[in-house]
A and B are shown apart, each in its own frame.
Chain A
């Protein structure tokens, strides 16, 4: 289970990471993809977004509600989501987030990038003939 995906731990010293692969950026993109995907279905409050991410991933992804605010507010400033306040006359004012057109395009773009990344990693770690033989022998 991945809990609160922002602020990932630093990689171990003996890990050699390609400079073009930015792990923090990847984490940020995953967070964005999760939030934008949830909002692509319907406008929601911050609290509902956290719940929806957790429920749709069967608890695999879990956001602390507090850590959502900086991400949502940044997305709002970038024009990818729109935050609308309910009328205070109808009770307590609540902020609801919805996906903008730019947000929809951004979501599609990072979904494509993510699909490319996962397919590349999957191709890279595909089991070799030796691994298959070991498995067959074990069976």
Chain B
């Protein structure tokens, strides 16, 4: 157990934050407490006094802790972390896999079949790129799971990749609709026009399917990695504080009828 565990436990109880944010703040404070303590000890200050001075200097007042909590308390963060924790538990993970798995498989089959039927280079290239990115995503998840370490940078890049893929899918739908509308507005369709239109719609459909498939995969991976990171940080803080029973953050659900809820 850490030398400053009792003091850190007091701070932890006042930090009404998701586990990972609370863990990061406590780890930072613990490292600085050690450094300040060593600083005083090196100047010949007695052990007990050095400890007291370090606590006074680093942990600050209750107001500082409240300001820190306010700074880090975002509704989306509380929600996403509680969601990630739920997904990390076996039953929810199984339900998610059963729900998302068939959708992913259907989207993958659809995109490959569409690419094969349309025969367009664009379709094949996007499908191949999509499959490559999914494989890369799976590899990074496996690596993160093996090393039990997920950096915030990985989570951020995953969120960016997922958003970009979603945007790609939406853009493909928009361009497809626009192209169809433009063709239909140009006048009566001949048989070759219909064939061209069908091929174009298939290509845009492929692009949309691949984009949405990637977005779903990225979202899925993001939640899993976030859950792993939160669990790892919680374990580390648990070891630091010697198994403190810390409160869960308050719910951020806003009551629809605040007047009646009382």
Q: Let me know if A64 and B57 touch, CB within 8 A.
A: yes
Cβ of A69 under 8 Å from chain B: yes
**Other-chain contact of B68, A7, A45, A65, A69 (Cβ < 8 Å):** A69
Q: Let me know if B71 and A47 touch, CB within 8 A.
A: no
- Give the docked Cα–Cα distance between A122 and B91 (Å): 69
Chain A residues with Cβ below 8 Å from B183 are none
Q: Let me know if A64 and B60 touch, CB within 8 A.
A: yes
Q: Let me know if A47 and B36 touch, CB within 8 A.
A: yes
Q: Let me know if B30 and A67 touch, CB within 8 A.
A: no
Cβ of B31 under 8 Å from chain A: yes
Q: Let me know if A65 and B57 touch, CB within 8 A.
A: yes
Q: Let me know if A67 and B31 touch, CB within 8 A.
A: no
Q: Let me know if A66 and B60 touch, CB within 8 A.
A: yes
Minimal beta-carbon separation of B21 from chain A (angstroms): 10
Q: Let me know if A70 and B71 touch, CB within 8 A.
A: yes
**Other-chain contact of B58, A51, A65, A94 (Cβ < 8 Å):** A65
Interface residues of B in 135-171 (CB under 8 A from A): 149, 151
Cβ of A101 under 8 Å from chain B: no
Minimal beta-carbon separation of A23 from chain B (angstroms): 19
Q: Let me know if A67 and B60 touch, CB within 8 A.
A: yes
Interface residues of A in 63-91 (CB under 8 A from B): 64-67, 69-70, 73-74, 77, 85, 88
Cβ of A95 under 8 Å from chain B: yes
**Other-chain contact of A45, B35, B61, B67, B71 (Cβ < 8 Å):** B35
Minimal beta-carbon separation of A129 from chain B (angstroms): 48
**Other-chain contact of A65, B25, B36, B72 (Cβ < 8 Å):** B36
Interface size class of A (residues with CB under 8 A): 20 to 34
Minimal beta-carbon separation of B171 from chain A (angstroms): 28
Minimal beta-carbon separation of A49 from chain B (angstroms): 10
Among A51, A64, A69, A73, residue most surrounded by chain B Cβ atoms (within 10 Å): A69
Chain A residues with Cβ below 8 Å from B57 are 64-66
Cβ of A13 under 8 Å from chain B: no
Q: Let me know if A67 and B64 touch, CB within 8 A.
A: yes
**Other-chain contact of A73, B35, B36, B71 (Cβ < 8 Å):** B71
Interface residues of B in 65-94 (CB under 8 A from A): 67-68, 71-72
**Other-chain contact of A70, B31, B32, B58, B64 (Cβ < 8 Å):** B64
Among A67, A70, A74, A85, residue most surrounded by chain B Cβ atoms (within 10 Å): A70
Among A47, A51, A74, A93, residue most surrounded by chain B Cβ atoms (within 10 Å): A47
Chain A residues with Cβ below 8 Å from B25 are 69
Q: Let me know if B32 and A47 touch, CB within 8 A.
A: yes
Cβ of A92 under 8 Å from chain B: yes
Minimal beta-carbon separation of B222 from chain A (angstroms): 19
Q: Let me know if B28 and A95 touch, CB within 8 A.
A: yes
Ranked nearest first, the 6 interchain pairs of A and B with the lowest CB-CB distance are: A66-B60, A70-B67, A47-B35, A47-B32, A94-B31, A65-B58
Given contacts A70-B67, A74-B71, A93-B27, 7 further A-B contacts (CB under 8 A): A45-B31, A64-B57, A66-B59, A67-B64, A77-B71, A92-B31, A94-B28
Residues of A participating in the B interface, judged by any CB pair closer than 8 Å: 7, 45-48, 51, 64-67, 69-70, 73-74, 77, 85, 88, 92-95
What are 11 A-B interface contacts by the 8 Å CB criterion?
A45-B32, A46-B32, A64-B57, A65-B57, A66-B58, A66-B61, A73-B68, A73-B72, A85-B24, A92-B30, A92-B31
